[in-house]
Structure 1
Amino acid sequence: MLFNYLRLLLLPFSLIYGMAIVLRKKLYDWGLMRSVKFNLPIICIGNLAVGGSGKTPTTEYLVRLLAEYRIAILSRGYGRKTKGFILADDNATAESIGDEPLQYYQKFENITVAVCEDRVKGIEKLKENHDLIILDDAFQHRAIRAGLNILLFEFRKLGTLQFLLPAGNLRDVFASRKRADVLLVTKSPVPLLPVAQQASINELQPNNTQKVLHSYLKYGDLQHLYNNESRPLESIKDFEIFLLTGIANPDPLIEELEKYSKTIKHEEFSDHYAFKINDIRKFKSAFEAGSKKEKIIITTEKDSKRLKAAGFKDLLVNLPVYFLPIEVDLFEEDKITFDELILNYVKSDRRNR
């Protein structure tokens, strides 16, 4: 109730923010602010809300789809403590490049991962040695004119009333969706009923050139934080689960874990939260005080990158601490359409023919 009152108090500021967004949008549309186009395929993945729509696994989907090409992923590197252009290498940490870029770098061997708050400068440094560049979370970065814009919408939030910042979590106006080439509805239920599929299309009201496609989450086996051990989710049935997250929207993860256990104790932090020693000590104490004999610690793959930072290993190394990887996939017909659209776009560039 208090949160709703606070939201009402913030609505005037959301109105001012919205006016500023619309003005900036018009300045780019009218050509009064410069937007740079590059002579190689640039795929932009973004959303209108702050976090939680599935940009990271969607980016990874593209990397797998386009594996035969020389790919660079360029990110702002949210949460890093550095500035400027940085290429990921074996010395990279979540503090130096951000947790998501570190995940990309450690997960895929044959790609380049870079961070730069100035995306134009970043592309200038990458364009000569790559066949395409994927911009992670750059839909609002109008200084670049991407060749293909993929805009993500979380299924369960379509049709709900959402407010602009700071009253809500929208950082862009809904009308901005018209700039996108693909409107990808993420975290869809499985199976996806035709009536639900049509409802999201009706909500997004695509123009004649836009595709509305649907994806869903797939969960892998649990992976130990410090060794190569893995175990299927079925193996933790009826365990006491201690869940540690610092992501925007942990609800789908909780729903998945509830299929295996009704005893879930969740320690929730904000997105990209920089865990502190005292946080982990407190969490470890709660785990050790757990009532069940069979118990486990689970976190997300993104959070695992920050938990591996110096200082935490001594606290966690002897505990059953695992992260749960996720992937996205698309429903059969949408997958064919999406893959074909992406591959044709990349192949259409002269350097990739």
Structure 2
Amino acid sequence: MRILRWLLLPISLLYACITWLRNRLYDHSLLKSRSFQLPVVVIGNLAVGGTGKSPMTEHILRIVKDTFQVAVLSRGYGRRTKGFRYVETNSLATEVGDEPLQIKRKFPNTTVAVSENRCYGIDKLQAQHDAILLDDAYQHRQLKPSFSILLFDYASMLQPMLSLPTGNFRDSLHESKRAQIIVITKCPSNIPEQVKEDIKTRLAKYSAATVFFSRIAYQTIINGQGATLTTEELANKSVLLLTGIANPKPLDAFIRPLAEHVYPLVYSDHHDFSAVDIKHIQEKLQSIQATNKIILTTEKDYQRLPADFCASQPIFYIPIQQEIVHQEGDTFEKLIKEAFSRA
């Protein structure tokens, strides 16, 4: 697969040229972008998936939800519907997408909506809200946000950034100039100071954004009925680790030292679990030769699993949060509150 991607390098060069031209047309107003009177805050990335946009959306909501009437607007990736829809706690992931559904269930008093046309979605929401938070719209240049937060996976900063299809990047690093905040996500516990400075220096060539570093903070394991599972209890269990996310390796690495045995079952990101898949999952669980066994999945994957399956199986999920590191959380919160205060 790696060799094939390198063979596609000429296509990557063509893709990079097309995206560069498109961005310059917007920069010089030859293609039009629309702005709004209320604060419109965008979270996004330059790469394809896996940088932690949904945990960042939730982190920002925790900061602003008690001060501002904020609506979250998403494309609703993976849904089978079209157009503008409000997300309810009893919606299905196939109707609204797994990530918007997860956000609505965690923040039931917050308006969450999906629309592939972001400007139309803002038109529908702006009269009843103080601000709009978009969870994946950095490349949506028809919209001109008042504030942009750009995310980079830590590992991606340590290697060449190549355009699709050879690499994973939709835009070049040059496009980071539009961001006001850049967050390096999924950082290890101890980042060497020199690596941290090298990353900041690399970004400073393209962007004046304030740079923060964050890590994944795994929360208490829980099931659909609210029962929790401690790490001490996990130590005596065999775990079928079910994932359908962009990069399951960090979760696998986190769980392995905690459980007696771990059996990974990996699907593609946003995988739509079919009846055949559910039967396969049940068979895999039954094949584990242990009496004390569970299925453990991510919170995002849990949204897409059938409710009757979750009710009948020993299935738990593990929520995650973004945590700004190096004692810079207060500075981050201050900048976020200022962003949402802008008229």
> TM-score band, normalised by the shorter chain?
over 0.9
What are the within-5 Å matches in structure 2 for residues 65-214 of structure 1?
65-68=63-66, 69-205=68-204, 209-214=208-213
RMSD, matched Cα: 1.6
Kindly state the Cα deviation for residue 206 of structure 1 after the two structures are TM-superposed.
5.3
Kindly state the Cα deviation for residue 113 of structure 1 after the two structures are TM-superposed.
0.4
8 A Cα contact 2:178 2:207, kept in partner: no
Which amino acid in 2 is paired with 1:339?
E
| Residues 32-61 of structure 1 deviation map (CA, whole Å, 9 limit, x = unaligned) | 011111011111000011111000000000
Residue 319 (1) aligns with residue 313 (2) = yes
Aligned pair in 2 of structure 1 residues 293, 203: CA closer, same or farther (>3 Å)? farther
Aligned pair in 2 of structure 1 residues 262, 156: CA closer, same or farther (>3 Å)? farther
Moved more, 183-192 or 73-82: 183-192
For 1:268, the equivalent position in structure 2 comes to 266
Which amino acid in 2 is paired with 1:218?
A
| Residues 273-331 of structure 1 deviation map (CA, whole Å, 9 limit, x = unaligned) | 1011111211211111112332221000000000035xxx2x45332110100011112
- Cα distance between partner residues in 1 of 2:305 and 2:314: 14
For 1:290, the equivalent position in structure 2 comes to 288
What are the within-5 Å matches in structure 2 for residues 7-86 of structure 1?
7-68=5-66, 69-86=68-85
Moved more, 160-169 or 297-306: 160-169
Moved more, 253-262 or 15-24: 253-262
Kindly state the Cα deviation for residue 262 of structure 1 after the two structures are TM-superposed.
6.2
- Which secondary structure does the structure 1 equivalent of 2:8 belong to? helix
Matched residues, percent identical? 38
8 A Cα contact 1:86 1:97, kept in partner: yes
Scaled by the length of structure 2, what TM-score is found? 0.95
Aligned pair in 2 of structure 1 residues 319, 341: CA closer, same or farther (>3 Å)? same
8 A Cα contact 1:297 1:320, kept in partner: yes
For 1:216, the equivalent position in structure 2 comes to 215
- Cα distance between partner residues in 2 of 1:317 and 1:126: 35
- Cα distance between partner residues in 2 of 1:316 and 1:36: 43
- Cα distance between partner residues in 1 of 2:260 and 2:274: 28
8 A Cα contact 1:215 1:329, kept in partner: yes
- Cα distance between partner residues in 1 of 2:175 and 2:194: 25
- Cα distance between partner residues in 2 of 1:74 and 1:153: 21
| Unmatched 5+ stretches in structure 1 | none
Kindly state the Cα deviation for residue 348 of structure 1 after the two structures are TM-superposed.
3.5
8 A Cα contact 2:71 2:113, kept in partner: yes
Scaled by the length of structure 1, what TM-score is found? 0.92
Aligned pair in 2 of structure 1 residues 108, 32: CA closer, same or farther (>3 Å)? same
8 A Cα contact 1:159 1:203, kept in partner: no
Number of aligned positions between the proteins:
342
Kindly state the Cα deviation for residue 157 of structure 1 after the two structures are TM-superposed.
2.0
For 1:341, the equivalent position in structure 2 comes to 335
- Cα distance between partner residues in 1 of 2:261 and 2:89: 38
8 A Cα contact 1:103 1:305, kept in partner: yes
For 2:252, the equivalent position in structure 1 comes to 254
